Amino acid sequence: MLVKKLRSIMNHFLVPIHEIIPEEKELEIINKFGGKKEKFPNILLSDPVIEELGAQKGNLIKITRESPTAGKSIYYRVVVK
């Protein structure tokens, strides 16, 4: 990266909270939604948030968003290349 990042984009108000699911908890979540990881939505490894999180290909990411109707809504994405 040529330009050093000065600030974390994670602090921006439009970026929802991204977390890496620890591997031991991954299976539980995947099983809750049909047990097939390849059916989960994806997020690119090159996504700025993923780059900053330092997640690896195959990691499961939990995204917590604010929602006017649901309060908090939880979304999962699998890191892909």
Query: With binding defined as CB under 8 A, does residue 75 bind another protein?
Result: yes
Element (H, E) at 49: helix 48-53
CB 61 within 8 A of CB 43: yes
Total binding residues toward another protein, as defined by CB under 8 A? 15
Binding mask 10-39 for another protein (x = CB under 8 A): ----------------------xxx-x--x
Helix (H, G, I), strand (E, B) or coil at 74: strand
Which member of 18, 40, 59, 79 binds another protein (CB under 8 A)?
A: 40
The strand ranges marked E within 1-81 are: 17-20, 42-44, 60-67, 71-80
Instruction: Give me the residues that bind another protein (CB under 8 A), please.
Output: 32-34, 36, 39-41, 65, 67, 69-70, 73-76
